[in-house]
């Protein structure tokens, strides 16, 4: 009876861990569904293929060279090295898969041979370690030049990574649900500013700002109008900073297929 009980507990535990493992792949793929509709998205990792191919992404061949603007979604557990073609990666999203139940059929920090003997020869492992680490990287041709980026700047085309539409009226740009821009880090720590406008027809009221995938500010706005969100002093400790701006709600205008959030005028570190 004791053996049956132990076997039952192990079976349930492995089922839960396996469900959480593959569920994390599914949710990460959904985050980049819109990107796959509008640009080239590569899948670097067999475990990610099923869910990302459903969204329109493509498996990354061994001899493929990544081009400017490509998005590569990688799995540390099953990914491969590839040719970046001289482009520079910009991190736009990460996720760590680490279920709390200490059972592992596969994993970076496990000694299980579930899918490959590269990690060990055990049928399973008892561990609280990480199963996988997922990354989404945009590859661009050059490093950013500006620490403060106006949306009508000539440099905007090189420093906007995703989620921002073409300049309008020579001054501003609509963003979607999430905008990502790349900034040169200032010589010393400084606050980050986001200057934007909420039009009367836009339902967005909450703006969240992340720097290098860490949240640095979130603010609710009671009504439409122009605003400037300033964060506390930030010290990225890197040459570049990836700034992500998200809104809580979006809309689409008549005869306009775009997903619209708010209007951006500038993003950058205070001089």
Q: What is the pLDDT of residues 17-74, one digit of tens each?
A: 888 988 999 999 998 888 887 788 999 988 889 999 988 999 998 777 788 889 999 9
pLDDT, position 239: 84
**How do residues 178-190 score in pLDDT, each as one tens digit?**
998 989 999 999 9
Report the share of the chain in percent with pLDDT over 70: 96
Which pair of structure tokens corresponds to residue 263? 């209007």
Bin 62: left if φ > 0, else alpha if -120 < ψ < 50, else beta.
alpha
Chain centroid to CA 179: how far? Answer: 11
pLDDT, position 85: 66
pLDDT, position 122: 78
**How do residues 226-240 score in pLDDT, each as one tens digit?**
999 999 999 877 888
Q: Where are the beta strands (DSSP E) in the chain?
A: 41-44, 58-59, 71-75, 88-97, 132-140, 148-150, 160-168, 172-184, 190-198, 206-211, 214-220, 225-234, 240-247, 263-269
CA-nearest of 250, 207, 213 to 134 is 213
C-alpha to C-alpha distance for 73 and 60, rounded to whole angstroms: 10
Q: When comparing pLDDT for 5 and 259, which is higher? A: 259
**How do residues 237-260 score in pLDDT, each as one tens digit?**
788 898 999 999 999 988 888 899
Residue with tokens 């990836």: 242
The answer to whether the beta carbons of residues 217 and 231 sit under 8 Å apart is yes
3-state secondary structure of 171: coil
Residues 148-269: name the CATH superfamily: Galactose-binding domain-like (2.60.120.260)
Whole-prediction pTM value? 0.58
User: Domain residues of the chain, as ranges?
Assistant: 2-140, 148-269
pLDDT tier at 207 (50, 70, 90 boundaries)?
very high
DSSP 8-state code for residue 105: S
Residue with tokens 């999203």: 93
pLDDT, position 113: 67
The answer to whether the beta carbons of residues 205 and 248 sit under 8 Å apart is yes
Rounded to 5 degrees, what are φ and ψ at 88? -115, 130
Across residues 191-206, what is the average pLDDT? 97
Report the share of the chain in percent with pLDDT over 90: 47
pLDDT tier at 11 (50, 70, 90 boundaries)?
confident
**How do residues 92-144 score in pLDDT, each as one tens digit?**
889 999 998 888 888 888 887 676 656 667 777 888 888 899 999 988 877 78
The number of CA neighbours under 13 Å toward the Cβ of 208 is 10
pLDDT, position 108: 83
pLDDT, position 62: 77
Residue with tokens 């000694």: 111
C-alpha to C-alpha distance for 194 and 99, rounded to whole angstroms: 36
DSSP 8-state code for residue 139: E
pLDDT, position 163: 86
pLDDT tier at 10 (50, 70, 90 boundaries)?
confident
C-alpha to C-alpha distance for 50 and 83, rounded to whole angstroms: 23
Q: Are strands 172-184 and 240-247 parallel, antiparallel or unpaired?
A: antiparallel
């Amino acid at each position: 009876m004791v053996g049956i009980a132990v076997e039952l507990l192990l079976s349930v535990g492995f089922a839960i861990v396996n469900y959480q493992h593959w569920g994390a792949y599914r949710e990460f793929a959904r985050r980049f569904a819109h990107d796959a509709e509008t640009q080239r998205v590569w899948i670097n990792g067999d475990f990610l293929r099923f869910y990302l191919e459903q969204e329109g992404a493509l498996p990354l061949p061994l001899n493929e060279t990544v081009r400017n603007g490509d998005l590569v979604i990688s799995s540390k557990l099953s990914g491969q090295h590839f040719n970046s073609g001289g482009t520079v990666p910009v991190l736009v999203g990460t996720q760590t898969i680490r279920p709390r139940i200490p059972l592992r059929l596969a994993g970076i920090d496990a000694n299980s041979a579930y899918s490959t003997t590269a990690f060990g020869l055990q049928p399973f492992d008892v561990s609280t370690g990480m199963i996988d680490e997922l990354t989404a990287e945009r590859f661009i041709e050059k490093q950013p030049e500006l620490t403060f980026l106006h949306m009508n700047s000539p440099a905007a085309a090189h420093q906007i990574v995703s989620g921002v539409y073409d300049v309008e009226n020579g001054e501003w740009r609509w963003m979607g649900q999430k905008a990502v821009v790349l900034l040169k880090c200032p010589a010393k720590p400084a606050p980050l500013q986001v200057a934007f406008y909420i039009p009367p027809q836009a339902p967005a009221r909450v703006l969240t700002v992340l720097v290098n995938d860490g949240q640095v500010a979130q603010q609710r706005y009671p009504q439409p109008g122009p605003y400037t969100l300033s964060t506390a002093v930030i010290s990225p400790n890197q040459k570049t900073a990836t700034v992500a701006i998200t809104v809580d709600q979006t809309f689409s205008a008549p005869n306009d297929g775009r997903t619209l959030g708010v209007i951006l005028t500038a993003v950058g570190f205070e001089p």
